[in-house]
Structure 1
Amino acid sequence: LQDTLKSSPPESKVMKRASLAGVSTTTLFYVLCGTIGYAAFGNNAPGNFLTGFGFYEPFWLIDFANVCIAVHLIGAYQVFCQPLYGFVEARCSERWPDSKFITSEYAMQVPCCGTYNLNLFRLVWRTTYVIVTAVIAMIFPFFNDFLGLIGAASFYPLTVYFPIEMHIAQRKIPKYSFTWVWLKILSWTCLIVSLVAAAGSIQGLATDVKGYKPFSNHQ
């Protein structure tokens, strides 16, 4: 994202404001859903606050929410998948450099878009990957707990530990100083929260597995 921004204003300033707005908005919604939902319904809080109670009115709100989810997940899917695509395709090209199926590019004229270079291996591999992941996603009937477990596992290292350690190293914050101590307290607190969240997700998965049915929409 930073490389696609103009050089003026500086990328760091633009991304800092964008990150602050994005993280603040996300945190606000998550905290509100978590605290208010649990305060109102306890352990019976549904995974989907819009339709989890059996009400689908107003329709426009549900449709708008689904569109927002689709936009969010399509973008996130690309962000996470592109590095995997690139890694597999690069390794295959290195291992089988003489394979025309893997390395050959075929120029195709696309109306209004110009020339598109088609690679058969890339087409087959990426299509197969999307189909397999879609089938696996449909098999899981306990999406919310599984997503919670992934979120709990990735939250601490990616969002807390590494950023804090990089900040300490970059700013050369003295060990056992006031700032260093509070950053470490924040890091350990978030680790405990992640472990508790992971334990809750695992307990939910264990409960859901008892009534497991493939391709079920049970939450």
Structure 2
Amino acid sequence: MDIDDIKSRFPGKYDQHIEDMVNSLQHNKRVAEDAREPRGVVDRHSCSVEIGRAEQTELVNGEGPRMDIEITPHVGAGPFQLGMSFDDAMETARERGATVKHSPEGGRPPGKYVVKHSDVTLNFVLIFDAREQLDSVELWRFVNEDEDVNVSLDGLDVFRTPKKKLRREIERRGHTIDYNDAGFDGIADYNVILANASSQELPADPRTGFALYFDYLLVARKIAP
């Protein structure tokens, strides 16, 4: 996906979020490769993963593999609520069995912080603004198709529903989608972006040969001016 192409199709809309996402692509291969490593043992000494230009923090979650994440527009993703403070978000992660490792030590926002689970390859990225408030949350699709993970938006399984069907269902419910062949879909009244943004191999649509599912979701306080 080329940022200039997206900007030409959607002039003035979503610029900062698009830029952050595209800047993340060059590093996402490393995240996907790391996600494929065996998950039987939680590495408490692993280094932070760098995605994009901001400093990252890795959160290693020791909970079981079953994971249900509800995307609530204007509210957040699962336990991470938009607008919550950095300290509250870190405490929420710890309460869910996470170990927090900063890079650099004691690093504070603004920036991105990766939530990495021990038993599943779905990754959260928490994005904080200069006020140390949670501004948006990225979710990167799990790698293994048989993982017991469900990410839902308005009752729809985001990462297992074929893209065409998901678009139809969202539009049937009265929401407008700005989308193009580059794989970027903006749902303005949800403040949600869906995309194919990673380097991982996904099941292909037998008719088109393109990825059958989305592999990236962003929910934000605001994605349009």
TM class, shorter-length: under 0.3
| Higher RCO (CA 8 Å, separation ≥ 6 residues) | 2
The structure in which a higher percent of residues are helix is 1
TM-score, structure 2 as length reference: 0.27
Return the TM-score normalized by structure 1. Answer: 0.28
Larger Rg: 1
Structure showing the higher strand proportion among its residues: 2
